Amino acid sequence: MATQSHRNFNENDTGTPVAPATPPHDVAQGGKKRKKKKEASSAIVGAIFLMATSAIGPGFLTQTAVFTAKLGAAMAFAIVISIIIDICIQLNVWRIIAVSGKRAQNLGNAVLPGLGWLLTVLIALGGIVFNIGNIAGAGLGTDAMMGLDVKVGGVLTAAIGCALFMSKRAGMALDRLLVILGTLMILLTTYVAIVSQPPVGEALKNVVLPSTIDVVAITTLVGGTVGGYITYAGAHRVLDAGNTGPESVPSVTRSSITGTLVTGVMRILLFLAVFGVVAGGVTLSTDGNPAAEAFQAAAGDLGMRFFGVVLWAAALSSIVGCSYTSATFIVPTGEEHRKKQNLITIAFIVLSCGLFIVLGTAPAKLLVFAGAFNGLVLPIGFTLMLYIAVFRQHDLLKGYKYPKWLVSLGCVALVAAWYLAFRSFSGIWSIL
C-alpha cells in the first residue's frame, strides 16, 4: 500500500482527484491574454462606430437639411447612391489595409515612392477643412441645446476632444465615447423621424424613379460620408488593434459591413426626419441652421433640444475621429509611437479650432463645402487601394487571393467617384 510520501499529487487527503494547481506565471499570462482580447474587441467595436459616427457628422446633418429642402423626395436617390458607394469602398479599404498590415500612406509609398506622402497631404488638408466644419457643427449644436454662442460652443467642444487624447488609455476612452455618442444619435433621431411622419411611399418611389438627379448633391453626400479621412478611419483603428493578416478577413469583413449598416440606418433616419418636415410644407432656411429648424418643426422645443444633442454628439465624434485618423497618416504605426500620435491629434484639433475662429464662414455653408472637398479627394486614395488589390497581391497582400467580385464592386464605385468628382468640380466652388 502506498505511503503518504508516495501519494499521487493529483489526489487530496480524501483520495479524491484534483486538478493540478496552475503555476502563478500561467495565471498571469492568462490574465494578460484576456485583457488583450478584451482591448482588441473594444477596438473593433470602436472602429465600427468610428467609421459610422465619422460618416454621420454635422456635415451630413446640414447637407441632409439643405439638399432635402431643395430636392424633396428625390433626395432619397442621392442617399441610396451614397450608401451603395459607401459599401463598395469600405469593404475594399478595410480588407486591403487589414490583410497588408500597413496603413494607407505606407501602401502608397510601397507602390510609388512619394505617393503615400501625397495621400497624407491630401488627407491632412481635407481633414482640416472637414474638422473646421465639425467644430462649427459643435457650435451649432450647443446653440440649439442651450443658446450658447456658436464660437464659444465650438471651442469648448474642441477642448473636450483634446482632453480625451490626454488620457493614458486614449484608445479605450475613444472606443467607449464613440459607442455612447453613436447610440445616442440613433435613438434621438429615431424619435424625430417617427413624429415627423414622412411620406415613406413617395421616398421609396424616388429611389428608383427620381424626379431630379443633382450631381453636386450626390458628390457632396459621398464626400461627407466616405471621402477624405473617413475612408480610412475604421480601417486604421482596426490596424492599431493588431487585427491584421489574411486570417483577419472574416472579422474585418463583418466589422466593415456592420459599420456600413450602422451608417446606413442613421443616414436613412436623418433623411426621413427632415423629409417629413419638408413634405409638410415647412420652408427651411439654407443660410442659418436648417437642420435645427426641421427638428423643431417636427417636435417643437423638445425637437430643438434633441437636435442640439444629436448635432453636438455628431460633431464631437467627428472631431476626434477626423483628428485621430489624420494623425495616423503622419505618425508611424506601433505602440512606441502612440504618445506622439496622441500629441499630434491634439495639435490637429487646436489648429482646426483656431482656423474656425479666424475664418468666421457661415457654418452651414462651411459644412457643405467640407463634404464636397472630400468628394474630390476620395477617388485618388481609392485608386491606390484597387491597384494593390489587382496587381500587388503577391507581396503587399502576402499572397492573399483577392476576390474578383469585390474588385468589381470597387471598380464600379471608383468610376462613379471619379465621374461625380469631375462633373461637380465647378459647382462645388459656387457653394461658398
Q: To the nearest 10°, the Cα dihedral for 67, 69, 73, 74?
A: -40
CA 304 – CA 290 distance, rounded (Å): 11
Report residue 363's pLDDT band, with 50, 70 and 90 as the boundaries: low
Whichever domain contains 414, its CATH number is 1.20.1740.10
> What is the reported pLDDT for 158?
95
- Quick check: helix, strand or coil at residue 113? coil
2-11, 116-125, 228-237, 366-375: least confident range: 2-11
Identify the pLDDT of residue 258: 87
Count Cβ neighbours within 10 Å for each residue of 410-432 and write b for 16 or more, e otherwise.
bbebbebbbebbeebeeebeebe
Q: Is residue 9 part of a domain?
A: no
Nearest Cα residue to 290 out of 75, 119, 94: 75
DSSP string across 208-272? HS-S---HHHHHHHHHHHHSTTHHHHHHHHHHHTT--SGGGHHHHHHHHHHHHHHHHHHHHHHHH
pLDDT of the residue at 23: 62
Cβ-proximal residues to 61 (8 Å cutoff; 6+ apart), any chain: 137, 270, 291, 310, 311, 314
19 domain residue, yes or no: no
pLDDT of 250 > 80? The answer is yes
pLDDT tens profile 176-231: 888 999 999 999 989 998 999 999 999 999 998 988 888 777 777 777 677 778 88
Angle at CA 385, nearest 5°, toward 382 and 387? 110
Q: Could you give the number of structural domains in the chain? A: 1
- pLDDT at position 205 is 93
Side chain identity, residue 280: G
Q: Is residue 15 part of a domain?
A: no
In this prediction, residues 234-252 reach a mean pLDDT of 86
Domain range spanning residue 256?
43-429
Give the pLDDT of residue 374. Answer: 61
Residue 239 grid coordinates: 490596424
Is 239 among the domain residues?
Answer: yes
Selection from 240, 262, 225, 307 nearest residue 98 by Cα? 240
Locate cell 433626395: which residue? 75
Summarised one tens digit per residue, pLDDT across range 272-295 is 988 899 888 888 877 767 888 888
In a domain, 12, yes or no: no
* Rounded Cα gap, residues 26 and 13, in angstroms: 26
Distance CA 303, CA 64 (A): 16
Of 304-318, 326-340, 390-404, minimum mean pLDDT range = 326-340
Range 23-30 average pLDDT: 57
Give residue-wise pLDDT tens across range 121-161.
888 887 887 788 889 889 888 988 888 998 999 999 999 99
Is 394 domain-assigned?
Answer: yes
Does residue 11 belong to any structural domain of this protein? no
Percent of the chain with pLDDT over 70: 83
CB-based burial label for 281 (10 Å; 0-12, 13-18, 19+)? exposed
* Average pLDDT score, the chain: 82
Q: Is the pLDDT of residue 9 over 50?
A: no
Predicted model pTM: 0.81
Domain-located, residue 60: yes
